[in-house]
A and B are shown apart, each in its own frame.
Chain A
């Protein structure tokens, strides 16, 4: 269970205040207008920014005292997920050891992860030689080898075309189920939520306005902001 309790943060005049409880194994889509705090929410959970007050726990263990790298979290961003000067294999291996001290087993793990995301034989390629979708697959492969129970996705497929995006979503959903992950996906597309997520959250003005099971969520008619956004 991931719990956020009165998590407060402010940045350039905007204040954020988040509280929510997410069950193990949920796939939560987070939608809302620009500046509503979707990325900020993920950055707070991942530990890239520090809240002014509040609590985050995962399986009853507090996260706020841990550095970003120590948290049970893997995150995939919209861009810059890979170091462009390092090959695909090295980029993934950094998820196993940040100093690149690898055993033979580790190398096998990397190869297997690449195969799982459909990029068999791409070990020596450089990110610059890959398409946008392939780069995001490499980022997912790295998230796989890290074996962290919490997967945060910050609009990772926003730059991809509709067909490719739905392919990638399917892949994410499969990985989510195989590894029994808890997944949070920020998206600009409400249909991503509808097709993939078990739960959906609507953020507005730095608050979690609505958080419901996806089916119920899209049945809501009496929330003015939400209907305006949709």
Chain B
């Protein structure tokens, strides 16, 4: 029911936040579009062989990565669903949440630690394999490392929602494993499959950091990396514009398609399964399941182990006493704090201005918060790069742009956490609050903050961690003056100071995890106190 309208200042603040987001995104788009119509013909560019190759590779690597990640996730999730009792199951599933919480660059370092030139596998096999990680194989391994655990958890959540009656029926009818898959599991998997495919494809399409670090040459370059190269190395804004517009076109089409499917995705919930399946204890089932669980577990755990081992064996004391490193850490935290604050403020002011969940404004807020992903950070960044380089030194705007773009990129996550929590609290308390006349600062202090501190802390930590791990925007705008931890890491990787890179990766991973962990602990403790 449309209880109690927001007051005018709240409404104005909300509209301003929405306007700000619109200006930042459309500003970048307009800059790209006008630049594109200024100097050259689109048709000429589209027949460009170089561009064609990049587009093909971008789509090809994303397709392969998606098929492999999702294809392997199905039997892995099924194995976890069938084997509910083995030791370490919970820990393993917690471990599967880790890659997504880590910055992409940390994941890359972890993969280099296992698969790289000096990694564990090449050390073990000596010259026998002399396997090179750089190129398509490295990109695929990294994408599987990040997306296999995600897809597994999503499938598993759906499989665990199969009603227990289905399993009783399966036992009664004495269904063999193949029938169980066909009649019980596959329908569930099929329902979420398009959403998971679309999500993973989108993530692989816009994974700038992985391709930049593991692509290893012009043969395996994606659009986003090409944009970065044309702006930072060739200084060819014209080409960057074309590439950015092509990338934008692809993501728009993809998002339009995936929007229909991703709504069906479940929220990953606590994985406590009690179902008794008739097919769990046959010898063949146990062997197959163990195979998938061990393989997937190793695929995720070994790189992380290598990351920790390499990081610890690097010269951490030297790194931690270096002023450059400390400056990077401080810069990273300051930028991340600012980006987190901005993201939360934007989202909060917009949500508070919503009177009615069905109003046009409410729909626009939801739309803006979710479709911002259409504009990858690199595209947004290159748009503003082109605007600002007319006004002098682009790099002097770096802090501001890094903060704003990272805040916007975190918006979908912040919105997804805050919106339902706020809506629920409003539903419960709105009449009471209106009747008692609790407004303004009192309302925030007495009601909103204490009731919503858990989602607020979680959203803030997410936004901060995301910004802390960002390499895309800072790679465009970073300089000697503004260097963050990921940029420093990237530079030491580029100049073959691998040991430093290992140490920095561990520091970066630790920083992100401590933020997420602190947010969780803090909100839990306070919740218990009152």
Q: A11-B1, A49-B3, A69-B437 are in contact. Are A100 and B446 (CB under 8 A)?
A: yes
Asked if A98 and B4 sit within 8 Å, CB to CB, the answer is no
Asked if A85 and B435 sit within 8 Å, CB to CB, the answer is no
Q: Which of B4, B437, B447, B450 contacts A48 (CB 8 A)?
A: B4
Bound-state Cα–Cα, A126 to B2, Å: 29
B442 at the interface (CB under 8 A from A): yes
Q: A68-B437, A126-B530 are in contact. Are A80 and B450 (CB under 8 A)?
A: no
Point out the residues of chain B lying under 8 angstroms from A86, CB to CB: 446, 450, 530
Point out the residues of chain B lying under 8 angstroms from A111, CB to CB: none
Interface pairs A-B: 5 shortest CB-CB:
A69-B437, A68-B434, A98-B438, A99-B442, A80-B428
Point out the residues of chain B lying under 8 angstroms from A43, CB to CB: 1, 3, 431
Point out the residues of chain A lying under 8 angstroms from B435, CB to CB: 46, 48, 68-69, 73-75
Asked if B446 and A69 sit within 8 Å, CB to CB, the answer is no
Asked if A69 and B432 sit within 8 Å, CB to CB, the answer is no
Point out the residues of chain B lying under 8 angstroms from A47, CB to CB: 434
Asked if B442 and A98 sit within 8 Å, CB to CB, the answer is yes
From A142, which residue of chain B is reached at the shortest CB distance?
B436
The 0/1 profile, CB within 8 Å of B marked 1, for residues 60-71 of chain A is 000000011110
Asked if B3 and A48 sit within 8 Å, CB to CB, the answer is yes
B203 at the interface (CB under 8 A from A): no
Instruction: Give the shortest distance, in Å, between A11 (CB) and chain B (any CB).
Output: 7
A48-B431, A126-B530 known; 4 new pairs, CB 8 Å cut-off, are A43-B1, A69-B435, A75-B435, A77-B432
Instruction: Give the shortest distance, in Å, between B351 (CB) and chain A (any CB).
Output: 20
Asked if B434 and A48 sit within 8 Å, CB to CB, the answer is yes
Point out the residues of chain B lying under 8 angstroms from A119, CB to CB: none
A94 at the interface (CB under 8 A from B): yes
Instruction: Give the shortest distance, in Å, between B456 (CB) and chain A (any CB).
Output: 14
Point out the residues of chain B lying under 8 angstroms from A46, CB to CB: 431, 435
Instruction: Give the shortest distance, in Å, between A130 (CB) and chain B (any CB).
Output: 15
- Tell me the A162-198 residues at the B interface (CB within 8 Å): none
- Tell me the A45-61 residues at the B interface (CB within 8 Å): 46-49
Point out the residues of chain A lying under 8 angstroms from B439, CB to CB: 98
Asked if B446 and A68 sit within 8 Å, CB to CB, the answer is no
Asked if A83 and B1 sit within 8 Å, CB to CB, the answer is no
Bound-state Cα–Cα, A200 to B54, Å: 78
Bound-state Cα–Cα, A95 to B428, Å: 17
B429 at the interface (CB under 8 A from A): yes
CB pairs A–B below 8 angstroms (27 shown): A11-B1, A11-B2, A43-B1, A48-B1, A48-B430, A48-B431, A48-B435, A49-B3, A68-B431, A68-B434, A68-B435, A68-B437, A73-B435, A77-B432, A80-B429, A83-B432, A83-B446, A83-B447, A85-B451, A85-B530, A86-B446, A86-B450, A86-B530, A94-B446, A95-B436, A98-B436, A126-B530
A147 at the interface (CB under 8 A from B): no
Interface footprint category on A: 20 to 34
Point out the residues of chain A lying under 8 angstroms from B446, CB to CB: 83, 86, 94, 99-100
Point out the residues of chain B lying under 8 angstroms from A49, CB to CB: 1-3
Which one of A43, A67, A70, A74 has the greatest number of beta carbons of chain B within 10 Å? A67
Point out the residues of chain A lying under 8 angstroms from B434, CB to CB: 47-48, 67-69
Bound-state Cα–Cα, A85 to B530, Å: 6
Asked if A67 and B437 sit within 8 Å, CB to CB, the answer is yes
Bound-state Cα–Cα, A11 to B356, Å: 13
A81 at the interface (CB under 8 A from B): yes
Which one of B430, B437, B442, B450 has the greatest number of beta carbons of chain A within 10 Å? B437
Instruction: Give the shortest distance, in Å, between A86 (CB) and chain B (any CB).
Output: 7
Bound-state Cα–Cα, A81 to B436, Å: 11
The 0/1 profile, CB within 8 Å of B marked 1, for residues 76-119 of chain A is 01001101011100000011001110000000000000000000
Instruction: Give the shortest distance, in Å, between A169 (CB) and chain B (any CB).
Output: 22
Point out the residues of chain A lying under 8 angstroms from B450, CB to CB: 85-86
From A99, which residue of chain B is reached at the shortest CB distance?
B442
Point out the residues of chain A lying under 8 angstroms from B447, CB to CB: 83
Point out the residues of chain A lying under 8 angstroms from B432, CB to CB: 77, 80-81, 83
Instruction: Give the shortest distance, in Å, between A135 (CB) and chain B (any CB).
Output: 13
From A90, which residue of chain B is reached at the shortest CB distance?
B446
From B443, which residue of chain A is reached at the shortest CB distance?
A98
Asked if A94 and B3 sit within 8 Å, CB to CB, the answer is no
Point out the residues of chain A lying under 8 angstroms from B442, CB to CB: 98-100
Point out the residues of chain B lying under 8 angstroms from A11, CB to CB: 1-2
Asked if B530 and A70 sit within 8 Å, CB to CB, the answer is no
The 0/1 profile, CB within 8 Å of A marked 1, for residues 431-473 of chain B is 1101111110010001100110000000000000000000000
Point out the residues of chain A lying under 8 angstroms from B530, CB to CB: 85-87, 126
Point out the residues of chain B lying under 8 angstroms from A126, CB to CB: 530
Bound-state Cα–Cα, A70 to B432, Å: 13
Bound-state Cα–Cα, A85 to B428, Å: 13
Instruction: Give the shortest distance, in Å, between B454 (CB) and chain A (any CB).
Output: 11
Point out the residues of chain A lying under 8 angstroms from B428, CB to CB: 80
The 0/1 profile, CB within 8 Å of B marked 1, for residues 114-133 of chain A is 00000000000010000000
Instruction: Give the shortest distance, in Å, between B428 (CB) and chain A (any CB).
Output: 4
Bound-state Cα–Cα, A73 to B432, Å: 12
Asked if B437 and A98 sit within 8 Å, CB to CB, the answer is yes
Instruction: Give the shortest distance, in Å, between B410 (CB) and chain A (any CB).
Output: 27
The 0/1 profile, CB within 8 Å of A marked 1, for residues 392-436 of chain B is 000000000000000000000000000000000000111110111
Point out the residues of chain A lying under 8 angstroms from B436, CB to CB: 69, 94-95, 98
Instruction: Give the shortest distance, in Å, between B524 (CB) and chain A (any CB).
Output: 14
Point out the residues of chain A lying under 8 angstroms from B2, CB to CB: 11, 49
Bound-state Cα–Cα, A85 to B1, Å: 24
Point out the residues of chain B lying under 8 angstroms from A75, CB to CB: 431, 435
Bound-state Cα–Cα, A11 to B1, Å: 8
